[in-house]
Amino acid sequence: MAANATGGVGVRVKGTTSPRLAPDSRNDARLHGRFRALLAVLLIALASLGGALFLAHERADQADDSLVAGAAAPLDLRALLASAGGSDQRLLDLAFAKVEDVYYKPIEAQVLLNGEQQALAYYLKQNGVRNPQIPHFVATGDRERDGRLLDKNLELAESLYGSRVSSTGLTDAAVKGMLDSLDPYTTYLDADEINGLEESLRGGDFGGIGVYIGQDPQTKSVLVDPIDGTPAAKAGIKPGDEILQIDGTPTRTLSLDEVERLIRGPIGSVVVLLIRNHAGGAVHDVKVTRGHILVPSVYAKVEDGFDYVRLSDFGQTSYDEVRKALLAGKAKHARGYILDLRNNGGGLLDAAVDISSLFIPRGTIVSTIDRDGARDTRVATNVSIGAAPLVVLVNQYTASASEITAGAIQDYRVGTLLGTRTFGKGVVQSIYDLGPQEGAFKITTARYVTPLGRDIQHKGIEPDIVIKQPVEPEVIDTPKDLQLLAAKDYLRRVARR
């Protein structure tokens, strides 16, 4: 089964957030577990490919102070392009200049040249050009000359093959290849990609019906799992229902992206879905009025006397969601707290600092260090609510902003980390927007250290209590979840002291 990773109809790009199920439905629970597994697998793939993001953010027109971690100057793509005949070469020049200025460590121009050359050759082969002739230039060590060599690669590709392939496609390939050569996290995001990323960090803020979607690779059935309180759930759609048609268009021949585009639409408009019920198999039309969808990043419950809070990512709404869940646990006199950061690939700097501050009353949360050694220290925000005793669940896909929070909690000894060693992403990316339709550069601009000065890049964080468990996302929060059982066991022992 595959799942949509774009977030357009309720699927988070990074996350395993799941709505509650009817308590007496075993089949629904099994299917619900499959959806959780799908979303976690997406997270794992994203973390491996560089999707585990710890973001600073900067816009072309003005800096967004709430998200900026560095001090780089805003980009003005329009002004730069106004002095050139076209955008293709200037986009490449701008990308080269930006990484030369802000990348977190010195750059070897030969790496950039090789990355561009290989990406151009690959793009041409993928578009029917056999044995494309893209030369291998040797870097000179002079910034201006090396910039001209990068331009020359693109110019030659366009002059030789521009009549057979898209000029825009060649430019995108050149820029992506150059940036991708630096590390798994530095890249060029086109307009759709940056919009999708920003949407996911806003909590999936869009007009839609509020469902997770998945597709069986064998039958091509499009299955849904509605989010509580959304138009889909209110219209009676149940976990495991199959969408046969969307406004008369059959779904069997569609990709999940196409399914998403058809379901999505203006708030207040109506979409008609032909649904086959998971229970009973009845087929009927369901009219759903699209609404404003905010996909939660937190799933929480008080169980066995413990407040369990699973956080799927660090988005703009995550702090409020975590705080609300912790306060709900305190109101129910929880005996302990479990913060589940397993399979959490990261998110926003501010969210990581704020959520850490719920447990840490004062002091440094994280320090970022740029290529010149300049240090930016972020401190606790005086919002601690005394959620203790605390266990933080981590695994090999706990990454980036999740490691910021886990590392700070461990350094201050305000909680116990339990699980397996974390991912080990100790670098910071900044997003440089190029304009509403121009995409963005995502560039690694700094590394970070924990409050005690630990650099976790490629090392990860060793938990205080190691409990090994296969990465089987469908096991999370079930009776087979050995790590969660061990967390509750530990909290019981603490409570008896």
- Tens-digit pLDDT profile for residues 191-243: 878 877 776 777 655 688 988 888 877 788 899 888 888 999 999 999 889 99
Burial 243-271 (b: 16+ CB within 10 A, else e): bbbbeeeebeebebeebbebbbbeeeeeb
Helix, strand, or coil (residue 352): helix
400 an active-site residue? Answer: yes
Contact 104, 371 (CB under 8 A): yes
pLDDT at 206: 67
pLDDT at 80: 41
The pair of three-digit structure tokens given for residue 453, joined into one six-digit string: 């000065």
Contact 396, 469 (CB under 8 A): no
Domains annotated for the chain, with CATH where assigned, are 19-49+206-293 (2.30.42.10), 66-187 (no CATH), 298-496 (3.90.226.10)
What's at 2, amino acid-wise?
A
pLDDT at 169: 93
180, 411, 477, 481: the active-site residue: 411
pLDDT at 375: 96
How far, in Å, CA of 331 to CA of 334, rounded?
8
pLDDT at 109: 97
14, 98, 425, 442: the active-site residue: 425
In DSSP notation, 76-133 reads -HHHHHHTSS-HHHHHHHHHHHHHHHH-SS---HHHHHHHHHHHHHHHHHHTT-SS--
The pair of three-digit structure tokens given for residue 75, joined into one six-digit string: 């980009």
How far, in Å, CA of 365 to CA of 377, rounded?
8
The pLDDT > 70 percentage for the chain reads: 81
In DSSP notation, 286-343 reads EEEE-EEE---SEEEEEETTEEEEEE--B-TTHHHHHHHHHHHHHHTT-SEEEEE-TT
- Enumerate residue ranges in the chain where pLDDT < 70: 1-88, 199, 203-206
- Tell me the CA end-to-end span of the chain in Å, nearest whole number: 47
Nearest partner of 490 among 360, 311, 341, 335, judged by Cα: 335
pLDDT at 295: 79
Helix, strand, or coil (residue 223): strand
318 an active-site residue? Answer: no
The pair of three-digit structure tokens given for residue 235, joined into one six-digit string: 């219209």
pLDDT at 88: 66
Other Cβ atoms within 10 Å of 50 Cβ, number: 18
The pair of three-digit structure tokens given for residue 114, joined into one six-digit string: 């090789």
Other Cβ atoms within 10 Å of 93 Cβ, number: 17
159 an active-site residue? Answer: no
18, 87, 400, 430: the active-site residue: 400
How far, in Å, CA of 406 to CA of 360, rounded?
11
